[in-house]
Structure 1
Amino acid sequence: MADLPAVLASLRRAPDVEAPDLTAVDASDRLILAEAEAALGAVDGDRVAVVGDRYGALTLGAATTHGLTGLRVHQDPITGEQALSRNSARLGLSAVYTSHHLDADLFRGVGVVLLQLPRSLGELTEIAEAVARWADPDVALYAAGRLKHMSRSMNDVLARSFTEVTATRAAQKSRGLIARGPMPTDPPTFPTRTPLPELDLTVVAHGAVFAGGTLDLGTRVLLRHVDRIAPDARRIVDLGCGTGLLAIAAARARPDADVVASDRSAAAVASARATANLAGVRLEVRREDAAAGVPDASADVVLCNPPFHEHTALHTGGAAKLIAAAGRVLRPGGEMWTVYNGHLHHRGVLARAVGPTEIVDRTPKFVVTRSVRV
């Protein structure tokens, strides 16, 4: 049996933000592996699915301690896929797993599911329904999360897709949930379709996408200014696009421009693509980390409503990464329009990474800025 503590200690977050207060492994990862130990020891690797593995602790932990291969893995952020790829290569374990969409190929024939609990009940609902619909009737789902991010509603969500849901004892400020007896939901809850009459479109949203089918307050404020973006813009990038509402508005305001909707989330990319198609708007939708596939100095305008968290941790490193990416992809003279919570100090970051930055709107909660690439 491999040395699990040594494997977990070797894991890194890159290409996600690395910082002293951000870790690649926490107690909930260890709790899942401990609770599922007997089940993992009694099943072949190709009957195991891993969902929400942030940096590889669950996948590589199961593979090394039980000698499993053929594990099927789904990670919503592409940065999670990239981190798992780097960590597995360093450990010589690249061949033990394959990456999948959240679909039948991920769960068909699966008897054990390892799940890092998401904070979003919508995301948990979509995952639970997918397991119940496609996995074996004898499937057991082992999930866990940090107590401060868990709620009784998570038990209720799982109870709508499984006949039996039990909670483990708390350990190191984490708790596990074990679900058995799948009950398929027909039709599935996700993706949802929500009309937004004020934008003259219907939002298609998967469970993991930010703000779901709603128009979040920050995006609402930035949308006031879409008509002001450079009238001669030929390439516009919605950085961290979510359901694509900013990108769609930009495409409507500047119909001659090529508009790119970019996000690291698989759920966001699927939602943005479906929302744009339903609205009859042409977008290039890309799943990538911080506009990695957009050439340097190629964009006339970048629109951004950056995140203020890294997974469950409140941290502005992700926002800084997107702002730096905007500085890279904007041509000289290009504009970045950003909306962010007013208590955050992004204006200085924008000025350093992009160029001169002015406040163009302020509400009790949000600030909108316009930065010009120097």
Structure 2
Amino acid sequence: MPEFPYSRLRRWPDVEAENLQAHDATDLLLVEWALALDVPGDEIAVIGDEYGAVTLALTDAGRRGIRVHQDLATGRRALVRNAEELGLGGFSSQELDAALLEGARVVLLQLPKSLAELEEIADAVVRWAAPDVVLVAGGRVKHMTLGQNEVLGRSFAQVQAQRAERKSRLVVAAEPLPAGLQRPFPVTAQHDGLTLVAHGGAFAGPRLDIGTRVLLEVLGLGGAQLLQNSGRDAGEGRDSGAGPRESDRPRGVVHGGGPALDVIDLGCGTGALAAAYALAHPEARVIATDRSAAAVASTRATAAANGLADRIVVTHDDAGSDLPDASADVVLLNPPFHLGTSVHTGAATRLFEAAARLLRPGGDLFTVFNSSLGYRAELTRIVGATEQLHRTSKFTVTRSIRR
């Protein structure tokens, strides 16, 4: 059998660069393990296959009927594109639910960064897969922890780490334990009138991350009580002393002399910005979008928990690419600065470009970012005139006006 052409795989539409590949050694180890087991494709489920390397290599080897779950919309699109490029088919994409796992005897998993996400996945496997299911999880050694083994040990009686190869390692979990009566996720937390709901894979879980809290305060959508009730010290993430002065409050919360009618929370996470804005501005039409399926499910649950299910439209999308040009008065953005386990600013740049496309001329982009990243010049270049609204040693909040 000819070797699978991993080098032909692309990350597109995700960020592409010389130091970013569409496969790694962990993918190869997972494929080798699955092929050695000689299990038919319709008894294999693949989770976390970032750009399709595992699914397509197994499909190319004759395994048909594989079910795959990818959290990111970019990964789903890359899988489709790579399959078309290689002329491969015979697999189906699923959400993290019973349809993905029913009857699966082997589950292949690229280990997620979050222990909470791993816990939700492990629970789903023992809840819905075959009684004799084996979970084979892999990752780069430098990113693996004993905590991952402990999480798997809560769902499986046997958890065995394999010898490291090519700087990657597999962990094999067998003998599933009985699933609990209730699923461990989503989880809920209250924040001074705002309810957040989070699935395991959602960034920051049900907490308000520091950057979001700072942006909410600057926008006038949260004050001292919100900060204190979020579970962290209210002074963290800002300079000691008072918060933003009243003169620092952004004018962009209103647009054209009146309230902003069309608002997009770009990269919505658990929906904190979208829900807070919708609660404060009943007249606004709010869209929340994220490339993470876990984030989208969390935001939908957050909207429902705050009585906003009929006022916030939530979409699973890649940088708002399915939303029309010039459709927003305001875009709210707390961009990531990681791509998987790699520090890379390309993800933020793509979101700045998306905001520029989505905003109407004169529309406002409110962004919070790590002060060390210095995005102001880039925001000015991509979106338009950018002013600093608030800055601490950790975070900067800017307002960019679409030219």
Normalising by structure 2, what TM-score?
0.89
Corresponding position of 2:231: none
Q: Tell me the CA shift for residue 74 of structure 1.
A: 0.3
Corresponding position of 1:38: 36
Structure 2 residue 305 is matched with structure 1 residue 311: no
Identity %: 54
Corresponding position of 1:73: 68
Q: Tell me the CA shift for residue 233 of structure 1.
A: 0.8
Corresponding position of 1:188: 183
Q: Tell me the CA shift for residue 253 of structure 1.
A: 2.2
Q: Tell me the CA shift for residue 185 of structure 1.
A: 2.8
Q: Tell me the CA shift for residue 225 of structure 1.
A: 2.5
Corresponding position of 2:215: 222
Corresponding position of 1:3: 3
Structure 2 residue 252 is matched with structure 1 residue 259: no
Query: 4+ residue runs of structure 1 moved beyond 6 angstroms?
Result: none
Counterparts of residues 143-182 of structure 1 (less than 5 Å): 143-182=137-176
Structure 2 residue 385 is matched with structure 1 residue 356: yes
- Residue identity in the other structure for 2:133: V
The answer to whether the 8 Å contact 2:105/2:133 transfers is yes
Candidates 50, 53, 59, aligned match of 2:55: 59
SS at 1:50's partner residue? strand
SS at 1:328's partner residue? helix
Candidates 89, 97, 100, aligned match of 1:103: 97
* In 2, Cα distance between equivalents of 1:168 and 1:245: 40
The answer to whether the 8 Å contact 2:195/2:302 transfers is yes
Candidates 80, 85, 95, aligned match of 1:90: 85
Select between 253-262 and 297-306 the one with higher mean Cα deviation: 253-262
* In 2, Cα distance between equivalents of 1:46 and 1:203: 37
- Residue identity in the other structure for 2:190: P
* In 1, Cα distance between equivalents of 2:34 and 2:150: 21
- Residue identity in the other structure for 1:70: G
Q: Tell me the CA shift for residue 37 of structure 1.
A: 2.4
Q: Tell me the CA shift for residue 64 of structure 1.
A: 1.4
Q: Tell me the CA shift for residue 71 of structure 1.
A: 0.6
Aligned residue pairs, count = 366
The answer to whether the 8 Å contact 2:278/2:286 transfers is yes
The answer to whether the 8 Å contact 1:2/1:64 transfers is no
**Gapped runs of 5+ residues in structure 2?**
221-249
* In 1, Cα distance between equivalents of 2:280 and 2:388: 22
Corresponding position of 1:335: 364
**Gapped runs of 5+ residues in structure 1?**
none
Corresponding position of 2:246: none
- Residue identity in the other structure for 1:17: V
* In 1, Cα distance between equivalents of 2:270 and 2:107: 28
* In 1, Cα distance between equivalents of 2:177 and 2:325: 49
Structure 2 residue 397 is matched with structure 1 residue 368: yes
Normalising by structure 1, what TM-score?
0.96
* In 2, Cα distance between equivalents of 1:33 and 1:294: 37
The answer to whether the 8 Å contact 1:226/1:250 transfers is no
What RMSD, in angstroms, separates the aligned Cα atoms of the two structures? 1.0
* In 2, Cα distance between equivalents of 1:125 and 1:22: 27
SS at 1:224's partner residue? helix
Corresponding position of 1:113: 107
SS at 2:16's partner residue? coil
Cα displacement string for residues 135-175 of structure 1 (whole angstroms, at most 9, x for unaligned residues): 11111111110112110000000010011111111112111
The answer to whether the 8 Å contact 2:135/2:172 transfers is yes
Candidates 122, 125, 130, aligned match of 1:128: 122
Cα displacement string for residues 246-293 of structure 1 (whole angstroms, at most 9, x for unaligned residues): 011111222111000010111101100111111112201111000112
Corresponding position of 2:235: none
Counterparts of residues 286-301 of structure 1 (less than 5 Å): 286-301=315-330
Q: Tell me the CA shift for residue 333 of structure 1.
A: 0.4
The answer to whether the 8 Å contact 1:301/1:334 transfers is yes
* In 2, Cα distance between equivalents of 1:78 and 1:2: 30
The answer to whether the 8 Å contact 2:194/2:276 transfers is no
SS at 1:83's partner residue? helix
- Residue identity in the other structure for 2:323: V
Corresponding position of 2:196: 203
